[in-house]
Structure 1
Amino acid sequence: MTKYIAKITALNADKIGVNPHGTAEFTENGDKLHIKVEMFDTPKNIEHWEHFHGFPDGRDAQVPTMAQDVNHDGYIDLPETEPVSGTTMVPLDSAPEDMNIPHDGYPVADENGHYEYEVDVPLDKLQAKFKEAFGSTDLQLDKRVVYVHGVPADLKLPDSVKGDVMSYDAHTTLPIAAGKIVKA
């Protein structure tokens, strides 16, 4: 059994009015990957997309800082995270093994901004999809970053904040928290 953990801390907190934080745990055990995420103080009563991001070539992904705010609008939006965190790889949704990123199967925060997400993923199915997308079956979890996304649709965002994921806007994709995955 191999366990990985990420301490998830806030991004864009001063702009979104909450301070999201929590933990993500990944436990490889035989043919299963058990994933558990618990978040606190997220924007309440909305769905939060969550994924791990990384580089297909195996480079070590890192959590972004304000240095990634290249357009200096005060927000770190999704496109600005790519140079340090790579691309969206695996969704932490109702079926991670399907690697179906844009859909409505992600956790929803309660009225206190809290949610828990827990799932057992068939490792062989996830690795097959991962190989199809990225050329390798090795998830390299200790080289990945967990992201939590999403702010209320009525939150005023400047036009400079980009979503860049198919037809989903920045309210859905704005990173609100991230954490580096490390081997426990």
Structure 2
Amino acid sequence: MVEKYIASIVPLNADKIGTKAHGSASFTVDGNNLDIKIEMNDTPKNTQHWEHFHGFPDGKDAKIATIAQDTNEDGFVDLPETEPVSGTTMVPFNDAPEEMNIPNDGYPVSDDNGHFEYERVVPLDILEKKFKEAFDDTELNLDKRVIYIHGVPDSLELPNTIGGSVGDYDAHVTLPIAVGKIEKVN
């Protein structure tokens, strides 16, 4: 049985980053394959964009962050501020999602127009095994997750109040620029 999920991806932090990143994502489960397709427009151009689904390991339904999550009132919704409503970073949409290796350079880079397309067919059995190892036997539950697109150019001046550095990657890499709720298609 084929299951399909979609997300309409809307801008986040647009007034601060100068672009209104938007797009769509689809996730199709067909047998042992998860086909992931993401298309984004109006992202910061020529920039690598980390993209993931976020959620709660306990199965709670994740919601998209809005400016209401800007708890330190610096005008930006940074990665740590998304966690109370969206949960934690779970599955990366990079060159090997099934490896669950979040901090790396295998994410898409937007073109001169701020556009990129991403498509991967992921072996579901490997992804589910790694996911359960990482999140204590939690199921993927795509319809309880949200997708985030991250990344602004290093040249964008960010206040030192922005959190979300991951390893050697600073807030320019992790700042959310767009978000969408993943919903099951009937």
**Alignment TM-score, normalising by the size of structure 1:** 0.98
Alignment pair present for 1:131 and 2:132? yes
Could you tell me which residue of structure 2 aligns to residue 143 of structure 1?
144
Residue 137 of structure 1: how far off its partner (Å): 5.3
Which residue identity lines up with residue 125 of structure 1 in the other structure? Answer: I
Q: Which residue of 2 aligns with 1:182?
A: 183
Which whole-Å deviations, capped at 9, do the CAs of 1:109-156 have from their partners, x for residues lacking one?
000000000000000000000010002252000000000000000100
Preserved contact between residue 152 and residue 175 of structure 2 (Cα < 8 Å): yes
Report the counterpart of residue 43 of structure 1 in structure 2.
44
AA partner of residue 37 (structure 1): I
Partner of residue 117, structure 1: 118
SS at match of 1:8: strand
The 1-side partners of 2:184 and 2:137 are apart by 20
Aligned residues: 184
For 2:178, the aligned partner's letter is: A
AA paired with 2:37?
K
Secondary structure (helix, strand or coil) at the match of 1:97 reads helix
Whole-angstrom distance in 2 between the partners of 1:136 and 1:183: 22
Counterpart code for 2:149:
V
Q: 1:113, 1:106 → 2: CA distance?
A: 14
List alignment gaps of at least 5 residues for structure 2. none
Secondary structure of the residue aligned to 2:179 is: strand
Partners of 2:16 and 2:68 in 1: how far apart? 16
Conserved? CA contact 1:76–1:175, under 8 Å: yes
Aligned to 2:159: 158
One-letter amino acid of the counterpart of residue 27, structure 1: T
Query: Match of 2:55?
Result: 54
Shift of 1:178: 0.3
Shift of 1:13: 0.1
Give distance in 2, aligned partners of 1:113 and 1:71. 29
- 3-state SS in 1 of match to 2:182: strand
Is 2:59–2:138's contact at 8 Å kept on the other side of the alignment? no
Preserved contact between residue 150 and residue 178 of structure 2 (Cα < 8 Å): yes
C-alpha contact (below 8 Å) 2:57/2:138 kept by paired residues: no
Q: Quote the sequence identity (%).
A: 67
- Post-superposition Cα deviations, 1:14-47, rounded to whole Å, max 9, x if no partner, equal 0000000000100000000000000000000011
Query: Equivalent residue of 2:7, what SS?
Result: strand
State the 1:164 CA deviation.
3.2
Report the TM-score, using the length of structure 2 for normalisation: 0.97
